[in-house]
Amino acid sequence: MSHVTNEQLDRLLEQALLHDDHGALARRLDALAQAYESGEMSRSAIFVLAAEEWRQAGQPATALDRFQSAIDDGGEVPVDPRSGIADTLFELDRPDEAREVIAAIRADRWNPATALTVAETLAAYGDLDGAHEWATEGVRACPPGSAVRDSLLRIRYRIRLDLGLPEDDLDGLLDASR
């Protein structure tokens, strides 16, 4: 399967979910990425999908390799694969390395979807101030009405509640988006 459509990938993902076998799906995605020539998404995006499945299968070290493969491939991806590396490093109890990766992302160009992923990761691992900063910057970088913006507004609001912060103008945008 050297040419792949999004529909084919969706079917593959659905089958794996039905069978609850993330390892099998990860292996299939790995094979697909290796043989991939063209399609509606990049090889890098397939490596990211494989990495997430390896994480779900309890293989974080293999997931790190696949996230790195996505970076090395250099193809277009919706979310910077380094955000997956950072999350996996936190999972492996390597927070200093994870924070270094997040700092590298901040130093480069990032998109709102990456900001959302980093904010979710930082919130999950207890860095609410860092998560708040990423969510706020992500909201400010988003065009109005986008699904990512709404997700950023929601996580930002939850973080602000956890931090005991009062509502602000950006919180008001969450009410307006409903």
**pLDDT the model gives residue 18:** 67
Q: Work out the pLDDT band at 19, boundaries 50, 70, 90.
A: low
Dist CA 124 CA 131 (whole Å): 9
Other beta carbons within 10 Å of 21? 16
**pLDDT the model gives residue 33:** 83
Residue bearing the bigger pLDDT, 31 or 163: 163
**pLDDT the model gives residue 39:** 73
Can you tell me the mean pLDDT for 96-102? Answer: 98
Q: Work out the pLDDT band at 121, boundaries 50, 70, 90.
A: very high
Which ranges in the chain belong to alpha helices (H)?
6-19, 22-35, 43-56, 60-73, 81-91, 95-107, 112-124, 128-141, 147-163, 169-177
Helix (H, G, I), strand (E, B), or coil: what is residue 127? coil
Q: Work out the pLDDT band at 3, boundaries 50, 70, 90.
A: low
The answer to whether residue 43 scores a pLDDT higher than 60 is yes
**pLDDT the model gives residue 8:** 66
- The residue extents of the domains of the chain are 1-77
The answer to whether residue 74 scores a pLDDT higher than 80 is yes
The whole-angstrom distance between residue 20's C-alpha and the CA centroid of its chain comes to: 21
Q: Work out the pLDDT band at 1, boundaries 50, 70, 90.
A: very low
**pLDDT the model gives residue 11:** 74
Can you tell me the mean pLDDT for 91-96? Answer: 96
Mean residue pLDDT of the chain comes to 89
Q: What is the pTM of this model?
A: 0.86
Residue bearing the bigger pLDDT, 83 or 26: 83
Residues 105-132, buried b or exposed e (16+ Cβ, 10 A)? beeeebbbbbbbbbbbbbbebebbebbb
Residue 111 DSSP symbol: -
Place of tokens 């945008």: 173
